[in-house]
Amino acid sequence: MTQNAVEVRGLRKQYGEVTAVDGLDLTIRQGEVFGLLGPNGAGKSTTVEILQGHRERDGGEVSVLGADPATAGRAWRSRVGIVWQDESAPAELTVRETVEHFARYYPAPRDPAEVIALVGLEPKRDQRVKGLSGGQRRRLDVALGVIGDPELLLLDEPTTGFDPAARRQFWDLIRLLAAEGTTIVLTTHYLEEAEALADRLAVIAGGRVVAEGEPAELRSRFGTGATVEWTGADGAPQSVATETPTRTVAELMARFEGEIPGLKIGRPTLEDVYLRLTGQLVPTTAQPLEDAR
């Protein structure tokens, strides 16, 4: 087995006049949780579909678990699980019947009862799929993605429709699978989800990877400056964007002759970095220190 679960070089996909993926490169190591971030239309879902062998590519080289998804056979497919954005479960079966049915497709599946409990559907195991709520159906989709005990799990916006409690439960499931050695590729619009789960991230814009690295590394490389906030002498909130927050605080201490009322220092978040890299960052309204009086 190779050290990398996924290797992609120069991946391209065209839909008519629209270029969905434009020379994308990725390397995903075995056993890591890898997040794909990007706005709608950036090429995330197309990339995941190509990795799974569901969609043909127009150019580039792709290796997933040591094989080309475009030509890999049934044995390879049993090693890859996927959770699509769209629901895939038959409406008339119960939760238990659905999971047990899909388990038969795999040579060494997980125990269906265990999987149903893992995704939080044990109280609904005898409920027909058509009677589930949207969030419960999404949990069932996750169950069908992991029932085959895959080496690689592809998750395309898996927690859409989850309430906060269900999302946290799903995070626990992902951490459990990662601890067991499963390689996980996650696309999500929830930045806190990506930061909570991913060992490394790639930000995609215009069909290309514009940045890649650990969440803290991306914040360090692409997050510019800090914002210092305080309460002015007139009681009004003040703020300043600065590359030298320590110096700014020292200047404020001299101005206030001691404690600075309402002092807060904000560092760039992963969301700030993401918005900057994808060209969606709203310019700051913070004033220079000399004007913020």
Q: What pLDDT digit, counting tens, does each position of 206-226 carry?
A: 899 999 999 888 887 877 677
For residues 154 and 145, what is the distance between their CA atoms, to the nearest angstrom? 8
142 and 211: one domain? yes
* Residue 118, helix vs strand vs coil: helix
Q: Which domain holds residue 257?
A: 224-291
Inter-residue contact 167 to 159 (CB < 8 Å)? yes
DSSP strand pairing (152-156 vs 33-37):
unpaired
210 and 230: one domain? no
Cβ of 278: how many Cβ atoms within 10 Å?
18
Domain boundary among 219, 237, 264: 219
For residues 83 and 195, what is the distance between their CA atoms, to the nearest angstrom? 20
- Mean pLDDT across the stretch 139-146? 90
The H-or-E segment that residue 154 falls in is: strand 152-156
**Amino acid 87: pLDDT:** 64
**Amino acid 129: pLDDT:** 92
**Amino acid 241: pLDDT:** 78
**Amino acid 281: pLDDT:** 56
Residue 49 corresponds to which tokens in the numbers above? Answer: 């579909």
16 and 134: one domain? yes
137 and 240: one domain? no
Residue from 148, 130, 38 nearest 89 by CA:
130
Task: Express the helix, strand and coil content of the chain in percent, nearest 5 each.
Answer: 35, 25, 40
Residue from 261, 268, 278 nearest 208 by CA:
278
- Mean pLDDT across the stretch 152-166? 85
Residues contacting 198, CB < 8 A, separation 6+: 33, 34, 35, 186, 215
Residue 63 corresponds to which tokens in the numbers above? Answer: 């290796």
72 and 136: one domain? yes
Mean pLDDT estimate for the chain: 87
Phi first, then psi, for residue 20 (nearest 5°) are -85, -40
- Mean pLDDT across the stretch 91-109? 94
For residues 137 and 120, what is the distance between their CA atoms, to the nearest angstrom? 11
Sheet with 183-187: strands ordered across: 80-83, 152-156, 183-187, 33-37, 200-205, 208-213
Residue 68 confidence (pLDDT) above 50: yes
Q: What's the CATH number where 76 sits?
A: 3.40.50.300
214 and 250: one domain? no
Domain boundary among 192, 219, 246: 219
Domain boundary among 219, 241, 259: 219
For residues 31 and 33, what is the distance between their CA atoms, to the nearest angstrom? 7
pLDDT digits (tens, 9 = 90+) for 20-55: 999 999 999 999 999 999 988 889 999 999 999 999
Inter-residue contact 144 to 180 (CB < 8 Å)? no
Inter-residue contact 38 to 181 (CB < 8 Å)? no
pLDDT digits (tens, 9 = 90+) for 240-279: 878 788 888 898 898 888 889 999 887 777 887 888 788 7
27 and 159: one domain? yes
Single-letter amino acid code for the residue at 20: A
153 and 269: one domain? no
86 and 230: one domain? no
For residues 11 and 15, what is the distance between their CA atoms, to the nearest angstrom? 14
37 burial class (0-12, 13-18, 19+ CB within 10 angstroms)? buried
186 and 256: one domain? no
109 and 209: one domain? yes
Confidence of residue 284 (pLDDT cuts 50, 70, 90): very low
Residue 290 confidence (pLDDT) above 70: no
50 and 98: one domain? yes
**Amino acid 216: pLDDT:** 84
Lowest mean pLDDT among 1-5, 6-10, 31-35, 115-119: 1-5
- Helices 270-277 and 215-222 cross at an angle (nearest 10°) of 60
Domain count, the chain: 2
Confidence of residue 1 (pLDDT cuts 50, 70, 90): very low
Query: What percentage of residues in the chain have a pLDDT greater than 90?
Result: 53
- Mean pLDDT across the stretch 162-179? 86
